[in-house]
Amino acid sequence: MKITVDVDCTPEEARSFFGLPDVKPMQEEVMREMQKRMVEAMSGMDPESLLKTWLPAGIQGWEQMQKAFWTQFGGAGGGSREK
C-alpha cells in the first residue's frame, strides 16, 4: 500500500509547523558583518597603501630598488660596450 500526501505551503509555514526557528534575522546580521569586513579589507587595497606596504622606505626605497636593478642589468652583459 502506498500513500502520497502533497502539502502546499511556504517555507515559513513549514518551519513554523515543524517548530523550527526563523533564522532570517541571524542570516541578515551575518551578511551585514561579512559586508562590513569585506569593505574594510578592500580599503587596504588602494594603490597608495599597497606601495607603502611593499616599499616601506617610500620613494627612497623605490629609487634604491631601481638603482640595484640597473646595476645588475648593466653588469649582466659581461662588461661595458664602450670602445
C-alpha grid cell, residue 19: 517548530
Q: What percent of the chain has pLDDT over 90?
A: 36
pLDDT band at 35 (very low <50, low <70, confident <90, very high): very high
Q: pTM higher than 0.85, yes or no? A: no
Closest CA to 59 of 48, 69, 70: 48
Cα–Cα distance measured from residue 40 to residue 32, given in angstroms and rounded to the nearest whole number: 12
